Amino acid sequence: MYGLCDSFGCSKNTNIRLKLPAVCFIWQIAMIILFGIFVRYNEESDTHWIEHKKTKRNLSDIENDFYYRYPSFQDVHVMIFVGFGFLMTFLKRYSFGAVGFNFLIAAFGIQWALLMQGWFHSFGTGKILIAVENLINADFCVGSCLIAYGAVLGKVSPVQLLVMTLCGVTLFAIDEFIILNVIHAKDAGGSMSIHTFGACYGLAISWVLYRPDLNQSKRLLGSVYHSDVFAMIGTLFLWLFWPSFNSAICSHGDGQHRAAINTYLALASTVLTSVAISSLSKDKGKLDMVHIQNSTLAGGVAVGTAAEFMLMPYGALIVGFCCGIISTLGYVYVTPFLEKNLKIQDTCGINNLHCMPGIIGGIVGAISAAGATEYVYGSEGLAAMFPMVPRLQGGHQAAGLCVAIVFGIGGGIAVGTVLKLPIWGDPADDNCFDDEVYWERCCSSGHQ
Amino acid sequence: MYGLCDSFGCSKNTNIRLKLPAVCFIWQIAMIILFGIFVRYNEESDTHWIEHKKTKRNLSDIENDFYYRYPSFQDVHVMIFVGFGFLMTFLKRYSFGAVGFNFLIAAFGIQWALLMQGWFHSFGTGKILIAVENLINADFCVGSCLIAYGAVLGKVSPVQLLVMTLCGVTLFAIDEFIILNVIHAKDAGGSMSIHTFGACYGLAISWVLYRPDLNQSKRLLGSVYHSDVFAMIGTLFLWLFWPSFNSAICSHGDGQHRAAINTYLALASTVLTSVAISSLSKDKGKLDMVHIQNSTLAGGVAVGTAAEFMLMPYGALIVGFCCGIISTLGYVYVTPFLEKNLKIQDTCGINNLHCMPGIIGGIVGAISAAGATEYVYGSEGLAAMFPMVPRLQGGHQAAGLCVAIVFGIGGGIAVGTVLKLPIWGDPADDNCFDDEVYWERCCSSGHQ
Amino acid sequence: MYGLCDSFGCSKNTNIRLKLPAVCFIWQIAMIILFGIFVRYNEESDTHWIEHKKTKRNLSDIENDFYYRYPSFQDVHVMIFVGFGFLMTFLKRYSFGAVGFNFLIAAFGIQWALLMQGWFHSFGTGKILIAVENLINADFCVGSCLIAYGAVLGKVSPVQLLVMTLCGVTLFAIDEFIILNVIHAKDAGGSMSIHTFGACYGLAISWVLYRPDLNQSKRLLGSVYHSDVFAMIGTLFLWLFWPSFNSAICSHGDGQHRAAINTYLALASTVLTSVAISSLSKDKGKLDMVHIQNSTLAGGVAVGTAAEFMLMPYGALIVGFCCGIISTLGYVYVTPFLEKNLKIQDTCGINNLHCMPGIIGGIVGAISAAGATEYVYGSEGLAAMFPMVPRLQGGHQAAGLCVAIVFGIGGGIAVGTVLKLPIWGDPADDNCFDDEVYWERCCSSGHQ
């Protein structure tokens, strides 16, 4: 493997003994310095809370935002680290890479996200004051980078992944700021800002990093029985906690409550149509684990933007119904098409799970915002939900979706170009999808 | 396999390419229509909450029922999908079927349960108004069907499972309405309505579907090392979150608090006696994974009905103590007896984990209700807990238990008879316990 | 194996058919009796809550401590049973023993912990009044025994483990009482009382039980690919829920809030430095799964004592930064050193994950307490946090750390000496790290 490729700088030198530690140390030290300068506790996580709550109509401790959001935060946290991590363990020889690199880039990303998102919301004060809502937002932000990881799973080095995450978080923070604070679109569950952006970003990177001779390692691009069971751990924890994901930063009270219900329903509906299409697509009606692992989640993606709205229970079911169909058909038809015709190699099929359902989610959000009426929302409810006239809000939602797509594709092409430089230690074509390149394997030869 | 059996309608034609998609699509469309007609948000999940809370002594947002129950809901949700799903992955060749079909039928069942349970509690108003408590109840309802799945694991087709779930949810809703609203029994953790009913339902179906020649596939009716470890994921998440299960719909405040404590203690006690009996039952005192995976949970089942009562910490320990013994002895003696003498083939041993402990739970509930005194409960506490005189309450509890058994056995025989029709695509005897019949396997031959 | 060793009392008779059931039954009956005499519900989990809350400025049900702490309790519960259990499944032939014995001793330990901890806090009243905070403390207490299990994993019998747990819980309760109530040190996340104590206890036992000929079973002292993936389930759930662990018993409001934030940050930082050192320590910069599974958690351990303090976000990052380095270097250099030079065989490397980071945590706690100022905490905040002058508090913190070390080492030597008696059914040297000695294996030879 190293015979033809001894000099430093050769793109197939996968020795990362200097690069990876250097990046980890330098970036982590930078984080410590920046946190030292900028980050402090806010009034709900600071010892001054004891004084603060007296000034606010004698709040009870239970009204600290911690108790509103911490259970949801922990569910989201499980999704990011266990959900995304295990979902990608399906490859027969890349489980360490899936769960381990996911862990690494998420742990870095949440720190950088706290800074980037903080800067955008602390103009003037100079300090970033953090609390549980910031932790949730940081996890969300990293989620978009983990989605992008799905497209390049098995084909990149951990150093490339860290660069992808650094740039991805930066782009996400700008993108999110424009969508939420400039355009004033609503996007509680992040259909646009997390899923559409993250998927476009990953697909664009994968397009730039296209490997024409990847079929050399195609024998590794499959699963074995138990790696598929491991992946189901990821699927189920994502599916289960998605109601928390979509409701985590909704408004207190009915907002969180309704978002959780809508997501619960959309996801249930998706499972049935995913199974139906999966069975239809195969000989003798057998089910395909790839569809069950992925497409069953599409409803959660697509209901993200509108989860907080008065989508109505049947509306959520309809969204889930459509997305299960579209996502499963995506695995059957669109993924092969993308690879053959557009030269986009998408290891996990993020186009089907995040891109298409995310765009649908943005559209559903725009339509349901445009159609909001005082009759349904009540006058106070409507005013609280939408900062402007509903019809106008619909237009702004649509604008937000476009921003997410543009940022994802543009940013992905730029970052992909950087990642193409032959200095990052990425694997040769025939070492793809085998994590032995980056992970010590124990001497025993008995394992599969 | 298909040589002798080509024509449509042959019971051993396992091709479900038309049946499964048809059932999924039609039923899901029916759900959408019925939800469109009947289901709306209630006053705590609707945008009118902002007005509603003002009318109720100026409630804080934190007093929205969402914050009382959502953490418990998520724990229950994990139990239903990860707990039950992975508990059944122990078979060496049926992990996809276990976790995948569990996922499918639960996702369908929760929708149908929201409707069925809703109709029984919305007489007059015409609309089903849902909130987080409804989601918990839907999960509970589906739990009973997943218990029943345990009896027939590996022997039925997904179409049969969907029919079992449709009918099971319907029966559950009626059964539950009679127990809770007609008889006015208490059953917070569902020892009677969920576990006893579900287990009787599953065992009766398994009895009707008796396969005399099943020993052809007996070689597959065992586990391998790593499938047993997967099953422990299910066991542990069930065991851990059972306190949430039993307390999820208890009354606010001390009710939820006490139910969680009682369940925690009962489960701890069960583990020790399960281990003791398991060790006693084997040569050299070795432990049997089947017992550890299942019997350790029996205390949670048995403390369900009485969890909210003043059972006292030692009372909970005693319940757990007895159930660990009975459940483990059940695996050693009762399961083989049922198969040989009563022709009930019980793949997962649900008789030992749900039926016997569920009945014990019903009896414990009746006794502890009958023995309730004002001395222990306080006058206000007693009035809040029991709608009638305690001794009378004890009788009503016993009546509730009988209803659950009758519904389970009767319903199971009826549904089993329908499932015996040779149209559902169930596997031949020698294809049982191998999910290859319904699941695409990747081409690699390297997996176990 | 039994040829040379037939008589009862031979230390290599691993038949535990009488001993294990006897211990389980007798101890569980003792628990029931002691709970019957001593344990009752407290005013928040008793039916008298309905009266109690009226006497306290008309509390809302949501202010029942259950709603402040139950979500954290469930997270801690997952860490104890899934986290610790699965973290130890990494050995290729000891997954049943890891997850199964972890389950057994934790289930016993929480009962005994409720009693021991209760007795220390119920002088005078005669009754132990329990609520959700007691359950959390019981889980914490058992955590220290599970840490100790890590040092002797694969080398002891379940009977020995139960004795270790009985004594460990007893020592913990005394140790904790001295640290928190006599010395008045603060230790919310248990860096000293849980991690330092537990690790010293386990290492001392392992030292007493030193097996010079263990290299006979060294071939089993490794992992296979999928056992490492199982272990990552443990790692991730520990990592994810550690913010709940460190905040679970902090003061309501800002205390819990801040402890969660500090732990989240410390853990994120640890991941990067663990990865860096792991990569540096190997040829070609490959990562070692042992480091990723364990050292990534060191930041959570080390931030335990100071989590509730105004450590500042950058302070938490620095603690995590250092511990990732120290813990990973520990695996590379200290573990082999301990085995060769000090005759301490540490199967899981608890010295690196719990002992060294725990001591660092104690020191960080002492320093940050000593440096606390009214400027940072506010006058009310400082008074609420520290019962005495900060500088004095720093000294008390340091004293607490010494107590934990002394109790751990002293207790471990004493208990180890008892466990050396040849009556407990421990395995011969060449049966270590293979759980077949205590677990029934199914007949199939195909599994790994």
What would the DSSP string read from start to end of A122-154?
A: -TTT-SEEE-HHHHHHHHHHHHHHHHHHHHHTT
Contacts of residue B233 in chain C, CB cutoff 8 Å?
Answer: 82, 86, 233
Residue of B nearest to A239 (CA): B81
Nearest to A104 by CA among A164, A151, A35, A34: A164
Nearest to C131 among B60, B257, B287 (CB): B257
Neighbours of chain C (3+ CB pairs under 8 A): A, B
- Picking from C215, C221, C207, the residue whose alpha carbon sits closest to that of residue C94 is C221
CB pairs under 8 A between A and C: 237
Contacts of B264 in chain C (CB under 8 A): 110, 135
Contact A28 C264 (CB under 8 A): no
Q: Which residues of chain C have pLDDT under 50?
A: 1-11, 443-448
Choose the closest CB to C385 out of A28, A47, A108: A47
CA gap C245, C260 in Å, rounded = 8
How distant is the Cα of A406 from the closest Cα of chain C, in angstroms?
Answer: 31
Q: Is the pLDDT of residue A258 over 70?
A: yes
Question: What integer pLDDT is reported at residue B5 of this predicted model?
Answer: 44
Which phi and psi (to 5°) does residue C162 adopt? -65, -40
Q: Which chain A residues have a beta carbon less than 8 Å from that of C71?
A: 70-71, 74
Residue A391 CB: number of other CB atoms within 10 A?
A: 11
**One-letter amino acid for residue C28 of the chain:** Q
Cβ distance of A257 and B64 shorter than 8 Å = yes
Q: b vs e for A326-348, b when ≥16 Cβ sit within 10 Å of the residue's Cβ?
A: bbbbbbbebbeebeeeeebbbbb
- pLDDT value for B442: 65
Interface contacts B/C by beta carbons within 8 Å: 234
Handedness of CA C6, C11, C16, C21 (dihedral sign): positive
- B86 contact residues in A (CB cutoff 8 A): 233
Query: What is the signed CA dihedral for C342, C348, C353, C355, rounded to 10 degrees?
Result: -40
Give pLDDT tens digits for A139-187. Answer: 999 999 999 999 999 999 999 999 999 999 999 999 999 999 999 999 9
Which one-letter amino acid corresponds to residue C419?
A: L
Measured between beta carbons, the chain B residues lying within 8 angstroms of A252 are 61-62, 64
- Concatenated DSSP letters of B348-411: T-HIIIIIHHHHHHHHHHHHHHHT--HHHH-HHHHHHH-SS-HHHHHHHHHHHHHHHHHHHHHH
A107, closest residue in chain C (CA to CA): C268
For residue B382, give the chain C residue with the closest CA: C47
Q: What is the pLDDT of residue A175?
A: 95
Residue A19's contacts (CB-CB under 8 Å, 6 or more residues apart) are A159, A423, A424, A425, C285
Closest CA to C22 of B181, B279, A52, A276: B279
CB contact under 8 A, B282 and C110: no
Number of H helices, E strands in chain B: 20, 2
- Measured between beta carbons, which residues in chain B are less than 8 angstroms from residue C31? 269, 317
Query: How distant, in Å, are the alpha carbons of B90, B225, B296 from that of B288?
Result: 13, 12, 12
What is the value of pTM for the model shown? 0.96
Give me the residue from C21, C111, C443 closest to B279, CB to CB. Answer: C21
A39-41 and A128-130 beta bridge pairing? parallel
How confident is the model at residue C442, as a pLDDT?
Answer: 66
CA A102 to chain CA mean position, Å? 11
Residue C8 region, left (φ>0) first, then alpha (ψ -120 to 50), else beta? beta
Residue A7 has pLDDT above 60, yes or no: no
Query: How long, in residues, is chain A?
Result: 448
Nearest to A447 among C62, C224, C289 (CB): C224
Residue A9 has pLDDT above 60, yes or no: no
Residues of B in contact with C142 (CB under 8 A): none
DSSP classification of residue A287: B
Q: What does each C-alpha distance from B378 to B28, B280, C48 come to in angstroms?
A: 49, 44, 6
User: Hey, are the CB atoms on B16 and A285 less than 8 Å from each other?
Assistant: yes
Name every chain C residue with its beta carbon within 8 A of the beta carbon of B376: 47
Taken in order B418, B419, B424, B429, the sign of the CA dihedral is negative
Between chains, do C276 and A20 touch, taking CB under 8 Å as contact? Answer: yes
Q: Report the SS3 class of residue A222.
A: coil
Chain B environment of C51 (Cβ under 8 Å): 378, 380-381
Q: With an 8 Å Cβ cutoff, are A317 and B85 in contact? A: no
For the cut 60, the answer to whether the pLDDT of residue A280 exceeds it is yes
| Per-residue pLDDT, C59 | 85
Chains within contact range of chain B (3+ C-beta pairs < 8 Å): A, C
Question: Nearest by CB to A289, which of B78, B110, B439?
Answer: B439
pLDDT on residue B47? 93
Nearest by CB to residue C229, choosing from A77, A230, A437, is A230
Q: What residues in A contact C385, CB-CB < 8 Å?
A: 47
Instruction: Give the Cα-Cα-Cα angle C434, C438, C439 (nearest 5 degrees).
Output: 90
pLDDT of residue C11: 45
Among A35, A77, A444, select the one facing C240 at the smallest CB separation.
A77
Q: Is A19 helix (H, G, I), strand (E, B) or coil?
A: helix
Smallest Cβ–Cβ distance between A15 and the set C269, C271, C284 belongs to C284
**Cross-chain CB nearest to B107 (options A225, A261, A272):** A272
Q: What is the pLDDT of residue B157?
A: 96
**What are the tokens at B176?**
């539950």
Residue A335 reports pLDDT greater than 60: yes
State the 10-residue block means of pLDDT for chain B, 448 residues long.
41 83 97 96 93 85 95 97 97 95 97 96 84 96 97 96 97 96 94 97 97 83 93 97 96 96 97 97 92 97 96 97 97 95 95 97 95 91 86 92 97 97 91 93 47
Using CB atoms, pick whichever of B44, B50, B78 lies closest to residue A240: B78
| pLDDT band of A442, cuts 50, 70, 90 | low
Alpha-carbon torsion (A78, A81, A87, A91), positive or negative: negative
| Banded model confidence at residue A237, pLDDT cuts 50, 70, 90 | very high
Q: In a 3-state reduction of DSSP, which class is residue C364?
A: helix
Percent of chain C past pLDDT 90, that is, above it, reads 84
**B63 vs C62: CB contact, 8 Å cut-off?**
yes
Q: Mutate one of B68, B95, B436, B442 to test the A interface: name it (highest A CB count within 10 A).
A: B442
CA angle A103, A190, A330 (to 5 degrees): 85
Query: Is A51 in Cβ contact with C378 (below 8 Å)?
Result: yes
User: What residues in B contact C16, CB-CB < 8 Å?
Assistant: 279, 284-285
- Please choose, from the candidates A371, A240, A355, the residue with its C-alpha nearest in 3D space to the C-alpha of residue A312: A371
Residues of chain A above pLDDT 90, percent: 84
Quick check: C96 and B229 CB within 8 A? yes
In this predicted structure, what is the pLDDT of residue A448?
32
Query: With an 8 Å Cβ cutoff, are B226 and C447 in contact?
Result: yes
Confidence of residue A4 (pLDDT cuts 50, 70, 90): very low
**Looking at CA atoms only, how far is residue A131 from chain B in angstroms?**
18
Q: Which of C5, C37, C66, C229 to mutate to test the interface with B (most CBs of B within 10 A)?
A: C66
Q: Do C85 and B236 touch (CB under 8 A)?
A: yes
Percent of chain A with pLDDT over 70: 96
